[in-house]
Structure 1
């Protein structure tokens, strides 16, 4: 039986987190800080709990509050925060919503990045720097959930093109619908190049707060502006020197930053904010977008000269619905991957397999991966049946010609399955369904469930 964690257990989990955790209520009053936050900042919880974030800013504990920004913007926000004028941390505030949709509290995770500013041009440590921020990370091609798998001839042509262009420092633009695997292609390009042992910095241009964009890309010198680190800061372009930078969602980049980026790529030099000296950089650029860049250019939202600079080679990654030969391969791979990852033994029924292969997958490979993980982790039985599938996939199985009796039975199975998943015994499940215990047993026998087993392999009690 799955038990809900109590408050004491939840607090213990938060205390064991290596990230600092800071919680405020809907008014911005501090409710909780964990031990890691105390260690990172040097402030005790006695100094913070019960105090409003505005007061902490006024008393120079922090220079700005992500919690107040989240309460104002009503969305997840990340920013660089300075603690007591000396320590820099990356803070990510997440709103916790009540049932009526209002913000009940804000939970903020905190990571210390002060030491990163001492790295300077130590590019061998750029991977460490990138992993500490939610919009920068490195790729590896040996991870099972990030492999490039294909049977389709279109993907074979893309793979061949990648192997051909990878050795050269040519800029590449990857286009195609969201979720098709543009990041995996970018990973291949870097991994097949002579830069594979150099930094690979990935930037989500739509995720960095606009007021931080220039300082994130170009860095800044000590004292360049109010709140700037005393040590200055390396920018992403400088970190990517001799390596590769992927500009994901490049269509979201503000026009002013496009101008400065174009100049940097043309001159192969950057200048930090507040700096007077140019810094030479050697960077391979991979752009990625699911937007129509030509349309953005006509609207004046994207510079045509920057487009030509980054699209020396343009690769369009087709939607999964355009490469049906890959669907079965990907279904098998990710289903097996998540079974192994979570140490669960499950199989797909032939009906489910057929539905998965026939589905159009509007969310592409990302949607396929998510559904495979969902089926492996959320279904209690060892065999995945059609009634376990999400609604949109059940329509494939039922089809327009399916009779009413068949569709009602599938719905009944789904309701019964949910009841079984939420109760520890057949009797409890039957009671929640409003039917007699023997009626439920007969239904399970008719559906060939046999002895009901929970996800952990234990048998359900009567």
Structure 2
């Protein structure tokens, strides 16, 4: 009768394991697997015959149970719930329950695991959608702030709005504009709206980087030359860049690098509205709008004798100083998404920024200004291994300096072996801490977190 009863018990147990939607693993008090449900093979990637008879400690070393909830139960002698990531890349929530004999010895551990892969994927998709929504809202706001001709100019801060208003005011005139500011603030970007909003917009905008042209070639490039003027010259001669800007706009970037001898000739062109080619006998009338830019203090260079005073006064008609990025942090958010979108399209990717990454980018000082931000976003899009870009990907973030930061949520909790309840408690603390630092009252915190004010007070306590 006992034998029949045992057989019936085994049949019933096998029936329960087979019928259950959960993945069930039954182990003895030493951690040896006795029975598993058939669907464990789908989740853990190994057959029933392989798992049965193995030690959970051995299976943990083989990265099949990572981490093993049964091993945790044996160690802590209580119910345990934790998250697992399997070799088949599934996310599983496992619960282990100990069964004791009359002497309080653990004789069985029954673990149930739920496959949360789809839920985890939905959560990731939702987070990506939220980030994309923020990005789209930012792009819409950006488009409202600028016309179609100024696609690379982000105007969000009050300082930049004032500058763009000034640019549009002076664009209609032919007055010379001197753009100043630190390296990388984007001075060259403002030459385009000056040209596009002027009466000369149908003609060419000629841009010259005065620091990039070799001194021995500068004169011939700027003023042109006649045929046979020097060895290696084009047999037909060549028009200079100043000639090419006739009826249009001439933009001289890094004007502070202009050699003194060229400064004299440029001053003559500005005074006489005529340019003489090298080797030529006559002069050619030119009519152009001049825009110049520099990151140097031209007045100091005048005092040192490195820049002509009379040319400086010719150039300093309408000075426009472009503020550094750290002085207009309101623009950083839109700039980062502008360049993220630009390089995603260029490299045919779909990278997104984690919210903590966005915060780190906004709080950074940006010594290289907009150029540094643009270069960094391009590098991140290229080298980031994951779809989401986390703070450790940033060169100026040291993960060791932020031990409490959680860059990748679930993965971080898993690696630390936290239970679901422990992970939820930690997440709640982080949200409360963020709200406490960001808002002045518990009422504002409640609105931000979507909770009632009494609940906020209770949770803070």
TM-score range normalised by the length of the shorter chain: 0.5 to 0.7
Q: Secondary structure at the match of 1:287?
A: strand
Cα displacement (A) at 1:278: 1.3
User: Where does residue 281 of structure 1 map in the other structure?
Assistant: 286
Q: For each residue in 1:31-78, what CA deviation from the matched residue of structure 2 results, as whole angstroms up to 9, or x when unmatched?
A: xxxxxxxxxxxxxxxxxxxxxxxxxxxxxxxxxxxxxxxxxxxxxxxx
Cα displacement (A) at 1:178: 0.9
User: Where does residue 320 of structure 2 map in the other structure?
Assistant: 315
**1:179 partnered with 2:148:** no
User: Where does residue 269 of structure 1 map in the other structure?
Assistant: 274
**1:368 partnered with 2:387:** no
TM-score for both structures, normalised by structure 2: 0.55
User: Where does residue 203 of structure 2 map in the other structure?
Assistant: 198
User: Where does residue 164 of structure 2 map in the other structure?
Assistant: 159
User: Where does residue 247 of structure 1 map in the other structure?
Assistant: 252
Contact (CA 8 Å) 2:178, 2:291: kept in 1 or not?
Answer: yes
Structure 1 residues 322 and 230: CA distance shift in structure 2, 3 A: same
Cα displacement (A) at 1:343: 2.2
Which aligned pairs between 1:41-52 and structure 2 lie closer than 5 A?
A: none
Structure 1 residues 384 and 275: CA distance shift in structure 2, 3 A: same
Structure number, greater radius of gyration: 2
Q: Distance in 1 between matches of 2:416 and 2:264?
A: 64
Contact (CA 8 Å) 2:325, 2:332: kept in 1 or not?
Answer: yes
User: Where does residue 233 of structure 2 map in the other structure?
Assistant: 228
Q: Distance in 2 between matches of 1:249 and 1:165?
A: 21
Which aligned pairs between 1:13-412 and structure 2 lie closer than 5 A?
A: 147-390=152-395, 392=396, 394-395=397-398, 402=402
Q: Distance in 2 between matches of 1:225 and 1:316?
A: 41
Q: For each residue in 1:118-167, what CA deviation from the matched residue of structure 2 results, as whole angstroms up to 9, or x when unmatched?
A: xxxxxxxxxxxxxxxxxxxxxxx9689x6111211111110000110001
Q: Secondary structure at the match of 2:236?
A: coil
Which aligned pairs between 1:416-435 and structure 2 lie closer than 5 A?
A: none
Q: How many residues align?
A: 270
Q: Secondary structure at the match of 1:261?
A: helix
User: Where does residue 65 of structure 1 map in the other structure?
Assistant: none
Q: Secondary structure at the match of 1:174?
A: strand
Contact (CA 8 Å) 2:149, 2:193: kept in 1 or not?
Answer: no
Greater share of helix residues, 1 or 2? Answer: 2
Q: Secondary structure at the match of 2:173?
A: coil
Q: Distance in 1 between matches of 2:157 and 2:412?
A: 43
How much is the aligned-residue C-alpha RMSD, in angstroms? 2.5
Cα displacement (A) at 1:237: 0.7
Q: Distance in 2 between matches of 1:167 and 1:292?
A: 27
Cα displacement (A) at 1:447: 7.9
Cα displacement (A) at 1:387: 1.5
Q: For each residue in 1:191-229, what CA deviation from the matched residue of structure 2 results, as whole angstroms up to 9, or x when unmatched?
A: 111111111111111111111111111111111222222
Q: Distance in 2 between matches of 1:361 and 1:310?
A: 29
Q: 1:446 aligns with which of 405, 408, 415?
A: 415
Q: Distance in 2 between matches of 1:447 and 1:269?
A: 74
Q: Secondary structure at the match of 1:341?
A: helix
Q: Secondary structure at the match of 2:375?
A: helix
Cα displacement (A) at 1:446: 2.5
Cα displacement (A) at 1:250: 0.5
Cα displacement (A) at 1:332: 2.0
Structure 1 residues 143 and 188: CA distance shift in structure 2, 3 A: closer
Unpaired segments of 5 or more residues in structure 2? 1-146, 418-461
Structure 1 residues 444 and 375: CA distance shift in structure 2, 3 A: farther
Q: Distance in 1 between matches of 2:413 and 2:279?
A: 72
Q: Secondary structure at the match of 2:238?
A: coil
Q: For each residue in 1:323-367, what CA deviation from the matched residue of structure 2 results, as whole angstroms up to 9, or x when unmatched?
A: 011111111222222223322122211111110111111111111
Q: Distance in 2 between matches of 1:444 and 1:223?
A: 75
Q: Secondary structure at the match of 1:274?
A: coil
Q: Distance in 2 between matches of 1:339 and 1:228?
A: 44
Cα displacement (A) at 1:389: 1.4
Q: Distance in 2 between matches of 1:220 and 1:246?
A: 21
